[in-house]
Amino acid sequence: MIFKQKKVERQVSLKKDALDGILSYCKMKHPNECILILKGKSKNRHIVIDSLVIPPFSETGPTFAGFPSSFLPLDFSYVGIVHSHPAGSAEPSLEDLNNFFGLVSLIVKSPYEDEDVFAWDREGNSVKLTII
């Protein structure tokens, strides 16, 4: 007899103070994109994001944001990245997916309010996001 294991969907919880930091940073960098590293913990496909890091040597512009990951210190609490889309779309681009970092990617669309943050996996599938 063959048993199929049910795939457990990934879930992301974002602490409110981290969300506030993300939104403030996005507004400060607008009209350019911004990028931050997400820190937290992952257990049983549930990611809890509790803090942020400004990546060293990051570069941003109106249509791009990135950083050389080779300059990051080894830190197992990095769970992904968040970046903004000033043009207002929260869908990940092909470039976003090709430069995926960590377990989850958050995209914040303009005008950068609480309901403008969306989570994605490395295949571009939407991930449930809860603010805690």
Mean pLDDT for 83-101 is 93
**pLDDT-derived band of residue 132, with 50, 70 and 90 as boundaries?**
very high
**pLDDT-derived band of residue 10, with 50, 70 and 90 as boundaries?**
confident
Judged against a pLDDT cut of 60, whether residue 5 lies above it is answered with: no
| Average pLDDT over the chain, rounded to an integer | 93
Name all domains of the chain by residue range, CATH numbers in brackets.
11-61+72-131 (3.40.140.10)
Question: How many Å apart are CA 77 and CA 40, to the nearest integer?
Answer: 5
Pairing of strands 46-53, 59-61: unpaired
Question: How many Å apart are CA 127 and CA 130, to the nearest integer?
Answer: 10
Mean pLDDT for 86-100 is 92
Selected residue with higher pLDDT from 59 and 3: 59
110 with 118: CB under 8 angstroms? no
Judged against a pLDDT cut of 70, whether residue 8 lies above it is answered with: no
Per-residue pLDDT tens digits for 51-83: 999 999 999 989 899 999 888 989 999 999 999
| pLDDT of the residue at 88 | 73
Mean pLDDT for 27-47 is 96
Mean pLDDT for 28-53 is 96
* Token couple for 29: 């960098």
